[in-house]
Amino acid sequence: MSTSGTYTFNPSLGELTIYAYQLIGVRPAALLQEHMDAARLATNMMFTRWSNQGVNLWQVSLVTVPLLQGVSTYSVDASTVTMLDTYIEYGSPAIDRIIMPISRTEYASYPNKTQQGFPTVFWFDRLLSPTVTIWPVPDGTQTSLKYYKVDRLQDANMNGTQQVDIPPIWLEAMAYGLAQRLAVIWAPDKALAMKTMADEAYNIAANQNVETASQYISPQLSGYWR
């Protein structure tokens, strides 16, 4: 059996846009600048929704923030959608200890927000310029705050052969999703059919976008002795 032996299929946004228009009956020869402008905007709107719908595993990265004694609040990159597993590094050799998320209300209920000690909780304040606040405030024996963050998808542009910020296994979901959004503008009679295909393609990709490790649930008892 003869096969290509390659795994490099990753078309540009321009190529995907042409394909999406073909799906709704708009031929490449009919495309104008306004068609391409609409596709760029539709792609970025769709990526915004995907960032809101769940954890995109390819957008997860580990951040390390050096801790300062007496400083409780630290800046978080504005591209961050949410913070996942978060822990404190301390000691030599380095040891990590997980800390838990709390709400604004719970943080507000703490009577002494300047109390120093070993941090046990964090509050992710989702501002336009987001921050993370840990409590108790570091007492100088801790080295770093580490957390996994989920970034939003990078902007999609029509510049040359620029590709989109998704894994190849998501290309079908992207193409059908874009076609559905473009159909609303250019081919309303095909919008409903394209939505069905787009939803199916997204669900298939999303079902693959999960970690395969076993999950265990146990009570958190440490709070009783804190």
The pLDDT value recorded for residue 222 is: 55
The pLDDT value recorded for residue 72 is: 98
Tokens standing for residue 122: 């964090």
Helices and strands: H and E segment counts in the chain: 5, 9
Which string of DSSP letters, residue by residue, matches 47-96? Answer: HHHHHHHS--GGGEEEEEEE--TT--EEE--TTEEEEEEEEEEETTTTEE
Domains of the chain by residue range: 13-55+164-207, 57-152
Type of residue at 24: I
108-to-103, 118, 123, 131 alpha-carbon distances in Å: 9, 19, 10, 15
Q: What is the mean pLDDT of each run of 10 residues along the chain (226 residues)?
A: 91 97 97 97 97 93 98 98 97 96 98 97 97 98 97 93 94 98 97 97 94 70 51
Q: What is the rounded distance in angstroms from the CA atom of residue 182 to the CA atom of residue 109?
A: 48
